[in-house]
Amino acid sequence: MENRLVSEILNLKNEKDAIILAHSYQPPEIQDIADQVGDSLQLSRAAASTGSSVIVFCGVRFMAETAHILSPGKRVLLPETDAGCPLADCIEVQALRSMQEMYPDALTVLYVNSPADVKAESYACCTSANALEVVESVPSDEIIFAPDRNLGTFVSRKSVKTIRIWNGACRCHATADMENMRAVMEEWPDAELLVHPETPPEVWELAHAVLGTGGMIRHVAESCSQRFIIGTEEGMVYRLRTLYPEREFRTGGNIYCPDMKKITLQKILDSLKNLGPVIELDSEIRKNAYDAVAKMTEITG
Ligand code: 13P
């Protein structure tokens, strides 16, 4: 059954001039068929540079929207329209405008895990891979950082700028199970613990390094350790095992994103057959959001 689905997807993908992009939190069978698996920054770059006319985005809505913002001439498909992100949904335009009125001298740096109409209201976007670099580069000493409070706190501890932090969080990272994390550390005392900056500061205190998903991959490449405990969404463990089959990886903290798992092989096949559901945005919102996303790519190359 799975083999039949995979060969139908691969045939149809060529026929429809499509590329399949998948975030590292996607289930194994989807990572296996993707043309590119990556973090949110790599995937937005891939969307901007692909020659294919159709992008099948295996991730959550804000990621597919970012692909559309950067590649308006392409058809961006999100195989499951319900694949949302509670962190992105915790901020909306009017509330951000009220915060901007409170701090009129601040420039807004918005984590890409946010809706397109809110991106359109911000100065620059960032991902977990480049949040500090973007904050340091924007021309103001006062920054509104939204919507993730943990990433905002992480950045503020490393920056001398005044950072006004929005009080939002990723439901699965913010509730990382510390007891499980400690138990796994006891079982693997020689392992390095790598955690995502969306986890709370008390988790960072246990960790060897606090990194976005792309940073975790680079860290393992450079490390001499054999074992790693991964404090981010469990899909990342499959990604790391694929890249480094000679090393050992385990999850720590029971971090699981139900939205990421809404994409299935059958939905990808249906999406290629119907060339839908298509991501569409109001053109004014897309243009203003483009400016904020492009500012990030200008800053970080
Ligand atoms: P990365 O930018 O590290 O891929 O993280 C994406 C994300 O959505 C984390 O919850």
Q: Which CATH number characterizes residue 48's domain?
A: 3.40.50.10800
- How far does the centroid of ligand 1 lie from the alpha carbon of residue 212, in Å? 6
**Atom number, ligand 1, closest to the C-alpha of residue 128:** 2
pTM, whole model, 2 decimals? 0.97
- How far does the centroid of ligand 1 lie from the alpha carbon of residue 279, in Å? 20
Domain count, the chain: 3
**Atom number, ligand 1, closest to the C-alpha of residue 127:** 2
Range of the domain at 146: 87-170+285-298
Co-location of 80 and 91 in the same domain: no
- How far does the centroid of ligand 1 lie from the alpha carbon of residue 194, in Å? 14
Co-location of 7 and 68 in the same domain: yes
Which residue's CA lies nearest to atom 4 of ligand 1?
A: 39
Indicate if the pLDDT at residue 1 is higher than 80: no
- Residue pair 193/231 in contact (Cβ under 8 Å)? The answer is yes
Co-location of 294 and 232 in the same domain: no
Closest CA to 259 of 15, 25, 57: 25
Co-location of 290 and 165 in the same domain: yes
Supply the mean pLDDT for the chain.
97
Confidence of residue 2 (pLDDT cuts 50, 70, 90): confident
Q: Which of 125, 127, 171 to mutate to test the pocket of ligand 1 (most atoms within 8 A of CB)?
A: 127
Indicate if the pLDDT at residue 8 is higher than 80: yes
Indicate if the pLDDT at residue 107 is higher than 90: yes
Co-location of 91 and 166 in the same domain: yes
**Atom number, ligand 1, closest to the C-alpha of residue 38:** 4
CA–CA separation, 264 vs 5, rounded Å? 10
Co-location of 142 and 289 in the same domain: yes
Residues with CB under 6 A from ligand 1: 39-40, 113, 127-129, 170, 198, 212-213
Co-location of 76 and 15 in the same domain: yes
CA–CA separation, 114 vs 285, rounded Å? 13
Co-location of 79 and 128 in the same domain: no
The per-residue pLDDT for range 38-89, each reduced to its tens digit, is 999 899 889 999 999 999 999 999 999 999 999 999 999 999 999 999 999 9
Q: Report the pLDDT averaged over residues 210-235.
A: 98
- How far does the centroid of ligand 1 lie from the alpha carbon of residue 39, in Å? 6
pLDDT at 300: 85
Co-location of 277 and 144 in the same domain: no
Which residue's CA lies nearest to atom 2 of ligand 1?
A: 40
**Atom number, ligand 1, closest to the C-alpha of residue 24:** 4
Co-location of 270 and 218 in the same domain: no
Co-location of 107 and 78 in the same domain: no
The per-residue pLDDT for range 235-291, each reduced to its tens digit, is 999 999 999 999 999 999 999 999 999 999 999 999 999 999 999 999 999 999 999
Co-location of 63 and 200 in the same domain: no
Confidence of residue 221 (pLDDT cuts 50, 70, 90): very high
- How far does the centroid of ligand 1 lie from the alpha carbon of residue 129, in Å? 8
Indicate if the pLDDT at residue 134 is higher than 90: yes
**Atom number, ligand 1, closest to the C-alpha of residue 213:** 3
**Peptide bond preceding 139: is omega within 30 degrees of 0, i.e. cis?**
no
Q: Which of 23, 87, 128 to mutate to test the pocket of ligand 1 (most atoms within 8 A of CB)?
A: 128
**Peptide bond preceding 115: is omega within 30 degrees of 0, i.e. cis?**
no
In sequence order, the 6+-apart residues with CB closer than 8 A to the CB of 256 are 172, 233, 234
pLDDT at 301: 74
Q: Which of 63, 171, 198 to mutate to test the pocket of ligand 1 (most atoms within 8 A of CB)?
A: 198
